[in-house]
Amino acid sequence: MPHPAAPRRLSRPWLALASIGLMAVSALAAAEPGAAQRVAFKQAYAAAQQGGDGWRNLAKGLADYPLYPYLEAAALTHDLRQLDRAPVDAYLKRYPDLIPANDLRRDYLLELARRKDWGNFLSLYQPGMGDALSCDALQAKLANGGTLEFDRDLSALWNKPNLPSACDPVLNAARDQGLLTGPRLWARIDRAADAGQGGTIAALAEWLPAEDMQVGQRLAMALRDPGSTVVAAGNWLDTPRYRQAAMLALERLARRQSAVADTAWQKLQSRFSFTPEQRGRVLNALAVFHATDFDESALQRLISLPATAQTDASREWRVRVALSQQDWKAVLAAIDAMPATQQQDGEWRWFRARALTALDRDDEARKVLAPLALEPTYFGFLAADHLDTPYGICPLTLPTDAQREQALLANRGLQRAFELYAVDLPKLARREWSQALDGADPTTLKLAVDLAYRRGWYDRAVFTLNSGDALRYYEQRFPLASQDGVVPQARESGIDPSWAYAILRAESAWMSDARSGADARGLMQLLPSTAVLVAKRNGLDWSGGDSLYDPVVNIKLGTRYLGQMAERFNGAPWLASAAYNAGPGRVDQWLAARGSLPPDLFVASMPFKETREYVARVMAFAVIYDWRLNGKATTLAERMPAIGQAYRLPDGQTPRRVAACPVAPAPAAPADTSSVATPVAASPGAATDAAR
């Protein structure tokens, strides 16, 4: 569904191990924990999270288990409000460089700040632990009689558009010291305006001189309530700051109600002496958001935009509107108006060829399509279908190196990462992985990915093998996880297994604990409210939202829901994919408006960038998964039937296209930006990922 700080640099155990003899390394790596130890750890960890020392009896025999330090840290964290300094210091001394030690230090510092125990806070504090603790450290300094210096203490924080509440006392003190001068306040207000942070502006406006306070409030209002602002602006003075507020309101309103914003612009453009840049921003917003509404005037607005007001987005929408009208000359003109680098995107090469073909310029079209057809992307696959050539899938096999693998398995950080994954703590596992491999060379990373892959930890390949030739490790990047039941559940749901795999891969990148801001959960990113209805409709057991983190449960319900979406749209996986991402109601609206378009043009005309890219990514992933499952792939032409035409599931009679490695493999296509849902509180965020 629509998806931290870099780890401290530590010594590299895997570098040191390179000099250790293979037998010694093998001895270190040989002690793979057993199932009994993992069961005991889970029981002890559950007890430790309740605080106290009850966990210790359950942890007998685990002293040498890689995750033993997590037990005491969990108990101490639970008991923080009752703890004095001694047990925390003792733990930090025993495990100075471990992630749970860093977390315990951070959490105890927050507790000390709550207590206002500034002496202990300062003796335990280390810089670089986040804005909240940075501000707590400044509070401690003030409590000890110190004063603030803007450049030394505040400038880095001041450059951020918003700050945690822990910074409020520090900013109040800075104001009392006279450090928050008018120019500094306005500089931060401007940064907040660029970031759309109306709340920050409203708070800062209270500190402006009396003569400026009202206009500061108007800037906040422009972001929070642009409709009311453009009405009020008719009575404002024509000053630089009021012009800024009017411009921000018009720009924001254009996103929500383009027609209303257009009317307001007609009234305000003569009242205010907008700068050329401000006029350009308003005109650009009006043109782009009239285009997303596909207004009759949209194409002409985009063509008429002054060169200085054009952006990649406005140039792109000029093509999309022309495509929606199937005005092929206008399509070519719009692509020609793009900068050369933008024209090289696979989407615009495909639609250039489409326009050339429609204008009976087939030879020119083939020259565009031939290199594009070598690329393993949505547009590359479309080009190969058009030319009737093999799909340009050129796999690589991960290298093996037994000695270096053994060295990696002796890396205590990587051992902890693999164990955390094995005991169902994937968020912590990812953190240990990142710290253990921070600064590792590409060969080491590939070996680590393969070790993770063999353990069923599939998301490591997606997030690590994400650029250049590494994109060609298809086995690891597009795993066939039979243990989770994708193929049988997809067939039970009446859908193509390769499509189910593709949806899962696009939704979560194989992170079973993925959770979106909208509370979509698990591998196929289901909302609990959706899942309960799907379970009821299909007579399946339902045991609550957290069950969606179980891959088997998630896939069973996710494939059923995909089946429902497919049924709603004549079985067409491309339309059902759009509905899975944007909601079936929105897809119905788009079909009512532009349902006569061919599939590729309809996808290009979807107003949501996320949904356009999602459909393209899923369709490309489905081709790759079909190839992984069957050795050949059902064509995109088969997967994308015309709107209103029934889709038939692939069977033994369905034409499938072979994949072949070009003599000279095509260069990496521009990467798709996955909208992978980030697990709550997870470190690193979404990866850049390509259908390669």
* Residues labelled catalytic: 507
Cα distances (angstroms) measured from residue 293 to each of 272, 317, 335, 590, 595 = 27, 11, 21, 10, 15
Which residue has tokens 């795993």?
A: 479
Cβ atoms within 10 Å of 48's Cβ, excluding its own: 25
Element (H, E) at 306: none
Q: What is the three-class DSSP state of 672?
A: strand
Q: What is the 3-state secondary structure (H, E, C) of 480-535?
A: CCHHHCHHHHHHHCCCCHHHHHHHHHHHHCCCCCCECCCCCECCCCECHHHHHHHH
Alpha carbons 475 and 462: distance in angstroms, whole number: 11
User: Which are the contacts of 506, defined by CB distance < 8 A and separation ≥ 6?
Assistant: 614, 617, 618, 621, 674
Alpha carbons 383 and 392: distance in angstroms, whole number: 10
Largest CA distance in the chain: 83
Write the DSSP assignment of 600-633 as a string of letters. HHHHHT-S-HHHHHHHHHHHHHHHHHHHHHHSSE
Q: At what angle do helices 35-48 and 68-78 cross, to 10 degrees?
A: 10
Tokens of 365: 């079209």
563, HSE (Cβ side, Cα atoms, 13 Å): 18
Tokens of 20: 């250790």
Q: Are strands 633-634 and 688-689 parallel, antiparallel or unpaired?
A: unpaired
Q: Which of 503, 625, 632 is nearest to 566 (CA)?
A: 503
Q: Which of 614, 606, 571, 638 is nearest to 381 (CA)?
A: 638
Alpha carbons 443 and 445: distance in angstroms, whole number: 5
CB burial of residue 159 (10 Å; 0-12, 13-18, 19+): exposed
255, HSE (Cβ side, Cα atoms, 13 Å): 11
Q: Which of 474, 421, 424, 426 is nearest to 451 (CA)?
A: 421
457, HSE (Cβ side, Cα atoms, 13 Å): 24
DSSP letter, residue 689: E
User: What is the distance in angstroms between the CA of the first residue and the CA of the last residue of the chain?
Assistant: 22
DSSP letter, residue 332: H
